[in-house]
Structure 1
């Protein structure tokens, strides 16, 4: 009975926490957004101090663990990394501390980093990274409500047959997909790669799942939605991401994909999950959900969540700071993004955006290849809600960004090269744009968002 209550009530609470906006002090937002506002309004100085400590820890430990190994596997997994990631972590931590403390402010070269449109936009009291620090802490602590107490198994098995027909992948892959949506896309890719090596998917299926379902999760999406001003319509924002992603997955699953044949990893025996005889799909889904709820121990769930937060703080946020700051410097002081995205400007003006707004949207449309947060940085100040919505959703549906998911795809056993990842990005961008034109126009016509 306890397991049933855990499944039902904790899962419902998770959906309410992440997906249902409610009104506090006249503002209608989801719970995470209200908590972010509370922290920034009441304990911001203390929290900034906390982030400074985090930056120093990452800076020192990244250098230290280049020469040292711990006896703890977890500690090594957090602090030991590839040379490229180590450089980005050190650079990001240093730049964060530089902006927060106004290091080298009297030197001319520092102005490029301390500029309010570059490093100053990323860090500080009003910095975008401050929102991410808070959002990830709250979001990841609450995320087990959706991932650990049975709702993933219940929906995954219940919709398994539908997924198999729509996307030509095993029904069990629904669990990978849902885990990515409510958790983290990188975890989804790692799980898919592992399942491929164990024989649950063939190479073609693994490619479809890894490049179509492993979207960045709801906690990150809520941070982006908040920065773009869509906390009050977050279910619509995230629902649009889900809709475009499903359409892209449907198309991808029907492509030739000659480089990814339906062969299994190094000759392993196919391992398929089937509904037991004598049970209905609903009964099996419900029983699996109850079992998962029973297996989930609250203490372990909390510890795992804290470990995930540490991984994010150490391995993700400094990279966002590094890549984001450098990309903003390039955007602010060079014409690089404007040049490579120039063909998109007339397209966006053609569909109703002003030239000024289109000129902001175009570089944001391609900047996501470096890091998924960059498009939000580029467009957060746009006066057009529709443009912010369009680019915010596009950044998620593009899926691959080289600061994280792109590199993981290249390192996986599925067989993607760097050029394959580029092709995935281009393909998803080209297909997403016309779909999003329709979605944003519908929402604008309903008065949910405005072009002005």
Structure 2
């Protein structure tokens, strides 16, 4: 009975926490989003002090452990890193402290970094890092509710046949996809990486899942839709994102992907979801869930989650700060996106957009590689509803951007590098374009949007 309660109650709590929207103060969203809002509105200054302390610890700890080796293997695993990661951690931590404290604001370089469109987008009030600090801290502590107490096994067995046939991945991935779509793409990637390391996916499956379903969640999509003027047709906007994403996932699952093997992390035995002969699918799903719930100790799951939070605070967030800030500086202060996107002007011109609109759409189509919010900023003044809709949906279906999901994917154990992320971005962009041309024309013909 205790095991059944552990499975049902804790898994239910996980579903409620990550996947069920609640209306608080007139805003309908999942609990993580409400917690982010609460921290930003009620305890923002105290939380910023906490993040500043974290940045100092990472900055000094990384420098110290470059020359020092502790007797504690755990401390070594947290602070020691490759030369490139050491550099990025130090730079990212320093940049975060620089933006929060307004250092060097009188210098030209300081002004470029502290600008609201660069470092100001990444840190401080309303900054991306502020949201990520809260999301990761709360989300990863609550993550075992969703991954460790049986619901993954239960859903995996039930939905295995559908997921395997359509997307060639185990049914376990349903949880990852739902967590991304309804919650947050970064959480989806973390879930996938965690499950890969636990033997639920082989390397190829982990690649397909993390690069096909881990999009930015519905809350951020709603914010972008509002920015672009589509708040009133948000179901259509987000429905279009889902349609394009699922089509690309279907295609991705059938690519050769020679680099990503059908092998399991550290040669683990795979977690099987096959239904034994003579046993119903539901019964096997339920028994598998109880077995997992019984084998997981709550305290051990909490300790594991805390270690994961520390790892991300030290190894992920400073790197996101460094790469994101410099990517945004390139977008803000150089014509690089205009230059590399020049051929797309002719493409959009050919599709039927005016030359002026095409010139706005072209750089917006590639700016998402630096940060997902950049395309919206590039296109928000376009007089064409269709162009704003097209770019808004494209920014989500491209999936990877270097200020967040791209760097997180690189830091997983799945085996992706920067060039893999670039290839994913270009592939998803190329596949998305003709699908979105069709979708926008259909919606325009139905008078839902106008050219």
| 2:325 match | 325
Please, which of 208, 211, 235 is the counterpart of residue 212 of structure 1?
Answer: 208
Q: How many residues are treated as equivalent by the alignment?
A: 430
Q: CA contact under 8 A between 2:212 and 2:252: conserved in structure 1?
A: no
The 1:154–1:361 alpha-carbon spacing in structure 2 relative to 1, beyond 3 Å, is farther
The 1:309–1:244 alpha-carbon spacing in structure 2 relative to 1, beyond 3 Å, is farther
Q: CA contact under 8 A between 2:149 and 2:292: conserved in structure 1?
A: yes
| 1:130 match | 130
CA distance in 2, matches of 1:442, 1:436: 10
Q: Kindly provide the CA deviation profile for residues 114-148 of structure 1, in whole angstroms up to 9, marking residues without a partner as x.
A: 11221122212232221221222222222222212
The answer to whether 1:375 aligns with 2:378 is no
Give the superposed CA RMSD. 4.1
The 1:215–1:25 alpha-carbon spacing in structure 2 relative to 1, beyond 3 Å, is same
Q: Kindly provide the CA deviation profile for residues 253-309 of structure 1, in whole angstroms up to 9, marking residues without a partner as x.
A: 334x284698879xx899783432332222111111122222232222222222222
Please, which of 176, 186, 192 is the counterpart of residue 188 of structure 1?
Answer: 192
Comparing 346-355 and 287-296, the one that deviates more: 346-355
SS class of match (2:28): strand
Q: CA contact under 8 A between 1:179 and 1:188: conserved in structure 2?
A: yes
| 1:66 match | 66
| 1:405 match | 409
Kindly state the Cα deviation for residue 156 of structure 1 after the two structures are TM-superposed: 1.0
Q: CA contact under 8 A between 1:345 and 1:355: conserved in structure 2?
A: yes
SS class of match (1:28): strand
The answer to whether 1:390 aligns with 2:390 is no
Gaps of at least 5 residues in structure 1 are none
| 2:183 match | none
Kindly state the Cα deviation for residue 337 of structure 1 after the two structures are TM-superposed: 1.7
SS class of match (1:41): helix
The 1:270–1:108 alpha-carbon spacing in structure 2 relative to 1, beyond 3 Å, is closer
1:29-428 matched pairs, under 5 angstroms: 29-168=29-168, 173-175=170-172, 178-179=175-176, 182=179, 183-185=187-189, 188-189=192-193, 192=196, 206-207=203-204, 209-215=205-211, 221=217, 224-225=220-221, 228=224, 243-255=243-255, 257=256, 259=258, 273=272, 274-345=274-345, 347=347, 362-369=362-369, 374-379=371-376, 382=380, 386=389, 389-396=392-399, 403-406=407-410, 412=415, 422-428=422-428
CA distance in 2, matches of 1:302, 1:261: 31
Structure-1-length-normalised TM-score: 0.78
Q: CA contact under 8 A between 2:21 and 2:30: conserved in structure 1?
A: yes
The 1:439–1:152 alpha-carbon spacing in structure 2 relative to 1, beyond 3 Å, is farther
Kindly state the Cα deviation for residue 444 of structure 1 after the two structures are TM-superposed: 9.0
Q: Kindly provide the CA deviation profile for residues 71-107 of structure 1, in whole angstroms up to 9, marking residues without a partner as x.
A: 3333222222221121111111111111111111222
The 1:294–1:248 alpha-carbon spacing in structure 2 relative to 1, beyond 3 Å, is same
1:4-23 matched pairs, under 5 angstroms: 4-23=4-23
CA distance in 2, matches of 1:24, 1:131: 19
Kindly state the Cα deviation for residue 174 of structure 1 after the two structures are TM-superposed: 3.2
